[in-house]
């Protein structure tokens, strides 16, 4: 079975800084972020996984990621995740 992950990273140096993303391989993606290969996250290294949600439906995972990046999704994540 294939899983698709929606994840929230938290910076270890700026703990109020978060990043939301989507991937099929969570550990590889975290290594990519922490190696500085992602321009958006490079200046807040290192990162740790705060929350990860596994989905079996790719489209639902993409929609959930999009929601978490919206204003109401950020509020939801801050309160619940």
pLDDT of residue 81: 87
On the question of pLDDT at 6 being above 90, the answer is yes
**What domains lie within the chain, and their CATH numbers?**
4-80 (3.40.1440.10)
The single residue listed with the structure tokens 């079975």 is 1
Tell me which residue of 2, 57, 49 sits closest to 26, measured CA to CA. 49
What is the pLDDT of the chain when averaged over all its residues?
Answer: 97
State if pTM tops 0.85: yes
pLDDT digits (tens, 9 = 90+) for 33-64: 999 999 999 999 999 999 999 999 999 999 99
d(CA 51, CA 30): 12
């Amino acid at each position: 079975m294939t899983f698709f992950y929606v994840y929230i990273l938290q910076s270890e140096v700026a703990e109020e800084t978060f990043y939301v993303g989507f991937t099929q391989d969570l550990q590889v993606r975290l290594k990519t972020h922490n190696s500085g290969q992602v321009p958006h996250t490079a200046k807040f290294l290192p990162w740790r996984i705060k929350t990860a949600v596994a989905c079996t439906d790719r489209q639902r995972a993409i929609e959930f990621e999009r929601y978490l990046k919206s204003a109401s999704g950020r509020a939801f994540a801050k309160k619940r995740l």
